[in-house]
Structure 1
Amino acid sequence: MSDNSLGQIKSDGLFGRLPDLTKLDLRNNGITLIEDNAFDGAANIQELLLDGNLLQTVTDKMFFGLHSLSVLSLTDNKIKCITPGAFDHLTMLSTLNLESNPLDCTCHISWLPNWLRSRRLSPSATCRSPAALRDANLHHLEVSDFKCTAEDKGCLSPDYCPAQCACTGTVVRCSRAQLTTVPLNIPKQTTELYLESNDIATILPDQIRHLTQLTRLDLSNNKISVITNNTFEGLTKLSTLIVSYNKLRCVQRDALKGLTQLRVLSLHGNNISMLADGVFRDLESISHVALGSNPLYCDCNSRWLSEWVKSAGEYVEPGIARCSEPVAMRDKLILSTQSSAFVCNGVPPAEVISKCDSCYSNPCRNGGRCRARAAGGRDCQCARGYHGDTCQHHIDACYGSPCAHGLCRVLEEGRFHCSCQAGYTGARCEVNIDDCVANKCQNNATCVDHLEGYSCKCAPGFMESNGASCVDGLDEYRCACAAGYAGRYCEAAPHAALGTSPCAHHDCLHGVCYLPQRALQDDIIMERPLLSTANDYLCKCAPGYSGRLCEYLTSLTFSHNDSLVELEPLRTTPQANVTLIFSTTQLHGVLMYFGENEHLAVELFNGRIRISYDIGNHPTSTMYSFEMVSDGNYHKAELVAIKKNFTLKVDDGPARSIINEGAKEYLRLERPMYLGGVPEEIAKEAFSKWHLRNITSFKGCMKAAWINHKRVDYVNAVRVQRTSAGCGEDEPTSSMAATVFVQEDAGRHNQDPCVPNPCARGGRCVREEGSPSDYTCRCRAGTAGPQCELRASISGAPVITQGSKMPQRKQAISNVQASPAAPSHKQQMPSEHAPSQPTPAMGACRKEATREIITEGSCRSRRAVRGARCVARDARAACGKGHCCAPRKTKKRKIRLICSDGTRYTKDIEIVRKCACGKKCARTTPFH
């Protein structure tokens, strides 16, 4: 196939259909790209000729599948870079031709000479760049000859480096980046990874398994406590591993499994007491192990370590590691102490054994089962009826500490009593006794109640309307408005956003109609119009809707703190039956509330279902589910109220019941019932009466609800507030969506919110990217407000328009400073068509104080340095077109930096002193 114009070799399975192919000649084809796994299935090819093409990079998966390849010729291409490991899987390779390629001999291919020598391959390839290595024979170079600069990207894409790190070639440095976990997007070609001096607590196999070319890993000065089994699985080239100065207490037996090339291992400065026999068994190349500054427990269980240190090689452990316990072995060196001295005199202390076995002391009480976590620590699986970190608490009426400021005592099943602390009263000890009664505060001062005391707060001034505050000025004042308000006195309220376009009018009430695929194909083949009778189409319902015509809304997602559904009052005679199917990851939230003084409240509390039931027989009966339901899975809660009895069943498990004993028989109320949340006023009332422990709305999906054996249709609800239809998995697939949109009237789904223009006074409407209905108004000079409905006063403060209800007296007052709610403009109002001129807005460009650590490479200041930056909420509005808010005056200051290698030096930085509008628009920093 030579001397053609193939251009590319695609991964389309072609060679899998040619199992007997043994030689492939693709010379002189102008090939620029060979896709990964393109040769998959070509297991019998022994000779591959790619000379005279235009390949620039050899990737690590380019030759996957060529298990029998012995001759690979890449002469006379444009190859500059070869990804580490590109030839590792070619185990039969005996001839490799790389001549006449412009190889870029930076650190990216420093691995190649050693690999060639290890495979006894000697191609006559030479370097083209950098200048220092031009025409040098690749086979004769050493690793130290290859250098990289920060600009050398090698075979990697321009955005290959994680945001918190600095990358030079295949060396990734993430030191002192305040990381709590290993970055996810570390490139797989990385050969050296530096993660020292961070806050990383765990190192998981999935985080680093893809780094198969890694030779050095530095994890020193972190918070790692356990190295679990198979953590470094697949890192077969790793030669240096540094885990010194962590909180390491346990290295599991298979933690270092597979590290056959490891030469240097540092575990210095940790909290290790014992190492499992065989933990170093795969370290065939080890030359140095650092175990110093660990509290080693030297009994018979550590005898193997003494023997291994003495037999592993000359000074593998250089005589630094010492025994800490038992007393007879204290301060003795592992290297020089006779192995026979490592003897057992009883069981090691529990604090030693528990470092690698967190369940050793059996911390779980009341029949709970202890499970050790792979990454350290443990969890207790509590028996039914118990909860807590160690299953120490019984789930009873006092579950969740219902007494706000007192001690809870169980009276009987489902009932409790609160003994209040001094200064508190109320059924739940929720009321702080008012010490302001008959207080002695004078001159209209405000009395502030404290616990068993009070204080007097003198009034410094007055608050303006709509939450604004009064700011004193020179012979005048101004109102600092709350977000969204405007006007001289903050009297202009925010405007509501425009609604979205109405629903499409067709038989599918809440969905789209489409033809089944067979009918659609038949129509195309027969060249007849689409079938239109009622029996010829189906309704694809929008998420949350069901029914033949998508007429029922049966599932909702609650995502806001004030989400709720209001329904008719619950019928409780002869009984009430409510079933809810829901999913959430929130620990708290209202599921259902029906009440006044008597009530039925169902809520999430600490991940369990809490029931509060009171038909008028005081005190209230309370119950909690044994099951946890805040795990993101769907759960079914069945609620049955029969007179005084209330029963809860979760996920068809055992039922739990309580009895609200007393004279009354039924719960009879005329108030509405609420699902998923409660209106604010009713919620506050329920909270004050302890019907609800938390008034946050439920956040998650209410998949379905049945009330008295009838499925709830939210279309018929009295009110549905701040919810969205359906759950995440109900979204239609892309293929279905494509089929649907072919047959819909696309025009009614692409209404432009800017047509007609909603912005007043010549404002320009800009549609928000990614939203079908949201827009922003960009106002002309002299106007302000969400829809440019306000005009500016002479000083720039927005004032209400003539059509408003604002008194004429207030409209006349305009000579004030600019309000923060709107930018200032020129002193003279421009005409409707006059072009605006750039005039700095007084006060809009300002200096903002900062306090930051100064960093430079691997060096940083010892403490945060005070600085400032120039900021403006809208630089163009504040300073005019072509201008920006920038430093006007700076001063120099010397700071001292300390580096990771211990060196120190002094650096001059400029601190911003004054800011102003100007034309020099360089990026501002706290240290200019």
Structure 2
Amino acid sequence: LSLSPSPSLLNANKIHCIRATAFQDLENLALLSLYDNKIQTLAKGTFAPLHSIQTLHLAQNPFVCDCNLKWLADYLRSNPIETSGARCASPRRLANKRIGQIKSKKFRCSGTEDTRLNNECNSKPVCPAKCRCEANVVDCSNLRLTKFPEHLPASTTELRLNNNDISVLEATGVFKILSQLKKINLSNNKISEIEDGVFEGAGSVVELHLTANHLDSVRGTMFRGMGGLHTHTHIHKFSLKSFRSLNLLANPFNCDCRLAWLGAWLRSRRIVTGNPRCQSPSFLREIPLQDVAAPDFRCEDGAVLEESSCVARPQCPSECTCTETVVRCSNKHLQALPRGLPRNVTELDLSNNRISSLSDSSFSNMSQLTTLILSYNSLRCIPPLALAGLRSLRLLSLHGNDISELQEGIFSDVASLSHLAIGANPLYCDCRLRWLSDWVKSGYKEPGIARCAGPTGMEGKLLLTTPETKFECLGPVETSVQAKCSPCVSGPCQNHGVCQSDSVELYTCVCAPGFTGKYCETPVDVCASNPCTNGGICISDEQTRRFSCSCLVGFHGSFCEVDVDDCEDHGCENGATCVDGVGNYTCFCPPFYIGLLCEEKEDVCSPGRNPCQQHSTCSSTTTGPRCVCAPGFVGDDCSVNYDECEDQDCQNGAVCVDQVDGYTCTCPQGYSGELCEVPPPPPSPCERARCQNSAPCVDRAGTALCQCLPGFEGVRCEKLVSVNFVNRDSYLQLSDLKNWCVRGVCVVQDVQSYRCECEEGWRATLCNQQGELTPCSVLLCQHGHCQLTEGGATYCLCDTGYTGDTCETVESPCRGEAVRDFHRVQRGHADCQTTRPFSWVECRGGCQGGGAAAGGACCAPLRVRRRRYTFECNDGSSFTQDVEKAVECGCKECV
């Protein structure tokens, strides 16, 4: 059962029991049909979960209207949704009365029936120990059983006992209670004896499998009671090797590919058989089976059976799932019926596909079909004989298609049909569909879902409840409706094609001469492909099947493909290009010329046409406008501000800033000059001198000299050697000698000198500096920093550009010095120079390893650029010449 609001159609089955919880969780179900079943009673609350139920069909069930069904009468009075007219079957006093109209007090029980029916319905079916029971199939295979199991359900239709250890089939009467049993599988056991009467009561069995056992003899009484048996597979080419007599006379053998093995088997053994004869197919009728040649054992498709194909395999289309006789092909995106549907199918589900058409023979071989589901496809028309031969069909679902009409008599062969689902279709309810309304009202074959979509006034009306008088033909039927089953009405054939009805393709188009295609849309005459070009007219000759082209003026040739060349005598001037036209020509002018024949020279420097930008000067030349750019701009139209920084010569890491017609160098701190080529001056030695007692510092040949004031001496004037008194009353307070030393003890050396012995962690002359004395404390590196060698000696590691013991000397390496000037050349007796100055670098300085004489490296250009410049001479002439200018200098091999 579905949890969706779709209808649940369970009518026309053999349901005798509905458990109280059967409809649990189906709160969205809108329609429930239990019409035409075997239901006698229903437990109270069975319909309680159906909160959305709108329609209920319970008629044609043998209801016992006792006290157990009182609740149903109350329910139907409170919820008048039962529309099929459910009635009581018993007791006699209430027989044939509508349940919803009987008073509650009429539903009485005599005592024993109060729980009998309810208990029978809600008791669980019995299943033999270790076996599996599902859908009336009892599967006891592969359990090593040695005899028939006990407690087999009476409703069993198929009993599987294959692959066990049964050796003797005892006559226990087990099949007398299995009245619905159809199939018994006893293959792959150890059966060597079958007692007489074992199969008494098995008259409903139609199929018995005894292959792969130990039988060596067969008696006629072994299978007594199996009057309905038509398939008996206990003989095959590897069994019954001791057989001497097998009477097969008077059997209607169908000598197709499945019996080829038996013919070969009979010819290979000397046994008495009664000389069985074929009864079909017709060309083998009455021919002894063992005389039929192997190639004549043919199946329907005409294939000759090979020896390995003696066992018939079940047939199932690759797109479908087959379980016994149930074939399910839903949700497979099918556009047509799948090939290879088995003939014995009883239930066929083709829902939720894209099937758009059926033929009169779609289901012609499915005589056992009881349920056919075609819901939710794209069907527009059901052919009148599409259901012919389906005499067993009980349920047909066409729900959710595009069907507007059904031809009267379409259900004439389906006499067993008890339910038709045709809802969600645009039914056109005029007089031609009145028969369908009458048909569904007889026996409630349609559950009250199908509604009309037209004609006007019938929209939305139920097919089941609308009076037959409303089904009228009051005007012409819409073309879109007629075209579904009569597609020729819509005139699908083009180009005068004739539409003809077709039982398979619905219609075919008979095309007029010269056209083809499904709709006659494709022309086939010689002119249909328009072979004539350039507007030529095609003239066809039906007798010769050839054509000729009538060309327009200016064209000729078999296909009018040749254009007459009007440029052979053109008048285009000034090198213009002539382009041929149809009966004329066009002049495409070269640059700077205009006019129909390009006869007029264009003023390229006139306002609005002057291409020169940035206040540059435009001059007209034979090749077009020429722009003389203002300083700082380049390009054909002087639109590009030339980046002089591309050729910049800024030094010492300076940043180049482009300007119009030049650039500037932003120097790092300490550097100066136009190109930042001037390094900062070396620091004075006095900057690091530590003269004391206000002594001035004097730079003497790069060495700091402290000039001591009177009364002081020493390298840094740190020693007081005398005191002068200016005033008569002056005095000198002498401190303790040890106070001379800040962090140490003063030791007198002579009359005029002393020394300090410093405390631990202090140093310097007066013990006034903290920390141990390091070798680098006395080495002053002017442009670098002090380093220690592995031996503990000190040296200065100089900054780039400096050298010397204390990094005091500026190096002079090979470098390029920027120059900006006119470039001058001598031409004959004339002096010429460029019309504007430009920048380059001159290489100056030395290289390590010394000059051309020593075969070493020289300071020379490493990279040059070639530029074209205009020169003006003092004799009035001018010319253009390439000039190489250096842009980077360095040391390279001398040449």
Larger Rg: 2
TM-score w.r.t. length of structure 1: 0.26
TM-score w.r.t. length of structure 2: 0.27
Structure number with greater CO (CA < 8 Å, separation at least 6) is 1
